[in-house]
Amino acid sequence: MHTTAMAAIKYDLKEKAIALRKDGLSYTEILAKIPVAKSTLSDWLHSVGLSKYQKQRLTEKKLAAIRKGGAAKHQQRLDRTKLIMSIAKSEVGAISNRELWLMGVMLYWAEGSKEKEYYPGSATQFTNMDPAMICFFIYWLKTICHIHEDDLILEITIHETHRYRTKEIVNYWSEKIRIAPDRFSHIYYKKANIKTKRKNIGNTYFGVIRIKIRSSASLNRRIAGWTQGVVESIR
């Protein structure tokens, strides 16, 4: 192509690029319409001034692109997490009674109350705020330890600042662990720390459940023996 024609085409492209820039388009948007090198475009547009509105529009576009990119990465993390958890869940398979027994022993070792030498005869007690963990422990008591549901004493501890939500909290736990609301024998109110760094202080806070078993000092000692047996078996 003749040099003069090439220059004319280049001039025409430059004028279009300047016009698009003045319309508030970003470099990326202009490059999608004007097929030139980014360095060439930068050279053409470096002296093109933008109005306050145009600058604001470009800033908003950049922020929107950042948010879109962030949302895409967030979704990728969620999808990856979902895949990993799905694969991990499939690895569990069927759980034998022995495995269930040991799982409960380890759970009680971590979260249950232990008999003290200075206070012999302590009852079996388990405290937690995770509904799934509470359900598992109750199932373990019934299946492995053959404890009847009537022998369970259920208590709730909540912060004083959530006293007004007492009925809501009782109903929440009743639904989650499938036990009638009137089975929660005591509600304890803990004095709230105004400077607390806890995150669960809003309407997603439902306190802590304590499960006691009637006449269960012997069970507590058996669980302690089971725990000791596990410890000695891995030494």
pLDDT in tens, 3-18: 777 777 777 788 887 7
Residue 79 resides in a domain: no
Total domains in the chain come to: 2
- Report how far residue 143's alpha carbon sits from residue 175's, in angstroms, rounded to the nearest whole number: 21
Residue 123 sits in the same domain as residue 64: no
Helix (H) or strand (E) holding 186: strand 184-190
State residue 226's pLDDT score: 96
Residue entry with tokens 């004083």: 160
- Phi, psi (rounded to 5 degrees) for 211: -110, 125
Domain span including residue 153? 97-233
Is the pLDDT score of 190 beyond 60?
yes
Residue 39 sits in the same domain as residue 133: no
Residue 68 sits in the same domain as residue 109: no
- Report how far residue 104's alpha carbon sits from residue 22's, in angstroms, rounded to the nearest whole number: 69
Q: Which residue has the higher pLDDT, 41 or 86?
A: 86
Residue 23 sits in the same domain as residue 107: no
Helix-helix angle 217-233:97-111, to 10 degrees? 100
Would you give the DSSP letter of residue 199? S
Helix (H) or strand (E) holding 157: strand 152-159
Residue 119 sits in the same domain as residue 229: yes
Residue 20 sits in the same domain as residue 64: yes
Residue 63 sits in the same domain as residue 143: no
Residue 194 resides in a domain: yes
Residue 104 sits in the same domain as residue 139: yes
Residue 205 resides in a domain: yes
Q: Are 122 and 115 in contact (CB under 8 A)?
A: yes
Residue 124 sits in the same domain as residue 201: yes
Q: How far is CA 93 from the centre of its chain?
A: 25
**Which tens digit of pLDDT belongs to each residue from 123-176?**
999 999 999 999 999 999 999 999 999 999 999 999 999 999 999 999 999 999
**Which tens digit of pLDDT belongs to each residue from 28-53?**
888 888 878 888 888 887 777 665 66
Query: Other C-beta atoms within 10 Å of 172: how many?
Result: 16
